[in-house]
Structure 1
Amino acid sequence: MKKSPIKIMFYLILFISTMISITSTSWLGVWMGLEINLLSFLPLISNQSKYNNSMIKYFITQTLASVMLITSIITLMINTFKCKEIIIIMMTTSLLMKMGAAPMHFWFPEVMEFLEWKNCLLLMTWQKMAPMIMLSYINIDQWFMTIIIIMSAMVGAILGLNQISLRLILAYSSINHLGWMLASIQVSMINWMWYFLIYSLLTTLISLSLKSININFINEMFNSKNNNKINKLNVALTFMSLGGMPPFIGFLPKWIMIQELMQSNMYLISTTLIMSSTITLYFYMKMFTSAGIMSIKETKWSKNNSYSNKLMMLMNTLSTMGLMMSPIILK
């Protein structure tokens, strides 16, 4: 796995398999795309010995979900089972398990803890896309999805409070945002698309920034060994945007979602999502306010103007100024 052409091949298969699942006209084609996706992602997270534990956990969980999915698909094709609602719930549960939604979320933080940042980024964004689009094709019971949305939002918010690992914080944040995205699927796929695109942008910016300054824990965020203050400021502002603070673009999809949920009379879901988003914003802010108040000997501001820093500054400007530009975008 040290040879880059092999990695490029697996990345290419990973992207193509997701396209196969999305564009398939049958559930067997969907299942086949998800299986190819699994088999192409496993080598990417097993390139070093310390990641084998994560690979085994990911493989077992995804295999269990795949078995549930193919069983429910075959049962629906045979058309002899009278209670189709149970089969549909079983199919939905398998897709939710593949995404890591609560209460089937226990594997997700444990796998994220020992992955590289680029694989964490794939797990939080690209790997969730196909199962969520598949959920939009299923006529799911409203109360079942309400329970899943509320549990995902609250579990992601509450369990992220006492974490010191940045990977775990992003993992539980992803579970919380999954609740928002599942709610957006129930309302409109256009709203889901906007939410997923903005969430992917912010998560990409955070992952690239944390990888570039090589920090993994909260106490390393303002460590004097890291002299790139611009990059740290980028991370702080992007976390605020990810939490949904109003001046940033991360507030835009949540604003749209709250409006749509209130118009659809989903008051319980909207109230829960707002409360959970407030909790996540609290532990995002706690990371930077505590680090900023502490008396630490800081180095001078870095004047490094590399291409990667300029690119991240451009992405952070889009994150910061995006809410003001949203009337132009949404026209």
Structure 2
Amino acid sequence: MKLMKIVFFMVMILGSLISISAYSWINVWIGLEMNLLAFIPLISFDNLKSSSEVALKYFLVQVTASMVILFSFIYSFNKLGNINDLLYPSQFLFNSAILLKMGAAPFHMWYPNVAVGLSWMNLLILMTWQKIAPMILIMYNFDMNVYFCLIIIISMTVSGLKGWNQTNMKKILALSSINHIGWMMAMMFLNQSLWIMYFVIYIFISTNLVIVLNKYEINNLNDLMMLYNSNKSAKFFFFMNLFSLGGIPPFLGFFPKWLVIKILLENEMYFLASIMIFLTIFSLYVYTRLILQPMILKISEKKKFLKNSNHFIYMMNWFNIIGLIFFTTMFNIF
């Protein structure tokens, strides 16, 4: 079983790399299909009741997007006789299908439902690695127009509002991922190098948070309440990662969001910058509720959490604090 997981994991990575480095749109499509067909067995290997259902949902959504992508290639080929160029209608279809693949709003309806049925490690893959190829493919065809501005605004609005009454941690992280898609798309238009840095920081923070949630088996708000009453160090780690994910200073996650706003203002995109700052209030409410509500509501039940401390987890979480100082210093130097 472990060998099969490794094989499918490597094929999944290879599929993304083929899509990113391909010179032909057909090879891009082949790479995306390799990635899809490798990730589905990884979902099925989870020892969860919903694994088969989630794998089927994910498969149907991804296949639908792949069909739209293939149709956009065929349409351009019929008009131009060249598979390597995309006409405007084909570009619109292609970008919409890619947005569906990575779960950006308003094509996000499947994303939280699939996330709930995944294991923590597969959810981490869905939130991080599975976004790399779609993001870069959009970058190849990216032009900041009204369509993409609407995608950014809708992604941030929907993720913030839908998270208000959520108690499932996996669904909250999925909605947070949709929110960060909006931020990353804004950065991708303005500065591709800084977009890579944003994405790396997002992967780092998400990995930290998933490690803590997986280690202490936290799946909903009740588990979080038990954690707050039982383990101070885990509570501290959770605070740091959640504040960092929300982009609150002095934590590491504040730095990329500050850069996005700074570059938007430098490019005189004042309206979009103002809307993004305002919509941040919605997501910050969700993170603040996760921190304050379990502290206010006292419960008597205790849960036995793992007491042995992992030094690697300590090191990674402390970087959430010192990372902001490091990155701001390096940014000012270079």
Task: Tell me the TM-score range normalised by the shorter chain.
Answer: over 0.9
User: 2:263 corresponds to which residue?
Assistant: 260
Does structure 1 residue 67 correspond to structure 2 residue 67? yes
How far apart are 1:77 and its partner, in Å?
Answer: 2.9
How far apart are 1:140 and its partner, in Å?
Answer: 3.6
Percent identity of paired positions between Structure 1 and Structure 2: 37
- 8 Å CA contact 2:228–2:235 kept in 1: the answer is no
- Which amino acid counterpart does residue 59 of structure 2 have in structure 1? F
How far apart in 1 are the matches of 2:63 and 2:143? Answer: 23
User: 1:90 corresponds to which residue?
Assistant: 93
How far apart in 1 are the matches of 2:155 and 2:61? Answer: 18
User: 2:316 corresponds to which residue?
Assistant: 315
Q: Unaligned stretches of 5+ in structure 2?
A: none
Once the two structures are superposed, the pairs formed by residues 209-288 of structure 1 within 5 Å of their partners are 209-223=212-226, 227-288=230-291
How far apart in 2 are the matches of 1:92 and 1:195? Answer: 21
The C-alpha deviation readout for 1:17-53, integer Å capped at 9, x for no partner, is 1111111111111111100000000001112442111
- Which amino acid counterpart does residue 176 of structure 1 have in structure 2? N
How far apart are 1:127 and its partner, in Å?
Answer: 0.2
Of 10, 18, 23, 2:8 maps to 10
How far apart are 1:271 and its partner, in Å?
Answer: 1.7
Once the two structures are superposed, the pairs formed by residues 166-181 of structure 1 within 5 Å of their partners are 166-181=169-184
How far apart are 1:78 and its partner, in Å?
Answer: 3.3
User: 1:22 corresponds to which residue?
Assistant: 20
Give the TM-score normalised by the residue count of structure 1: 0.93
Q: Which piece of structure 1 moves more, 192-201 or 222-231?
A: 222-231
How far apart in 1 are the matches of 2:170 and 2:261? Answer: 28
User: 2:152 corresponds to which residue?
Assistant: 149
How far apart in 2 are the matches of 1:245 and 1:29? Answer: 41
How far apart are 1:305 and its partner, in Å?
Answer: 4.3
How far apart in 2 are the matches of 1:80 and 1:194? Answer: 37
- 8 Å CA contact 1:117–1:207 kept in 2: the answer is yes
- Cα 1:22–1:300 change in 2 (3 A) is closer
Does structure 1 residue 78 correspond to structure 2 residue 70? no
- Which amino acid counterpart does residue 29 of structure 2 have in structure 1? W
User: 2:196 corresponds to which residue?
Assistant: 193
Alignment size in residue pairs: 326
- Which amino acid counterpart does residue 181 of structure 1 have in structure 2? M
How far apart are 1:229 and its partner, in Å?
Answer: 2.4
- 8 Å CA contact 2:255–2:328 kept in 1: the answer is no
The C-alpha deviation readout for 1:195-230, integer Å capped at 9, x for no partner, is 111111111111111000001001211316973321
- Which amino acid counterpart does residue 31 of structure 1 have in structure 2? W
Does structure 1 residue 126 correspond to structure 2 residue 129? yes
The C-alpha deviation readout for 1:165-222, integer Å capped at 9, x for no partner, is 0011111111111100111111111121111111111111111110000010012113
How far apart in 1 are the matches of 2:303 and 2:177? Answer: 34
- 8 Å CA contact 1:152–1:179 kept in 2: the answer is yes
How far apart are 1:139 and its partner, in Å?
Answer: 4.4
Q: Unaligned stretches of 5+ in structure 1?
A: none
Q: Which piece of structure 1 moves more, 162-171 or 22-31?
A: 22-31
- Which amino acid counterpart does residue 54 of structure 1 have in structure 2? V
- Which amino acid counterpart does residue 52 of structure 1 have in structure 2? S
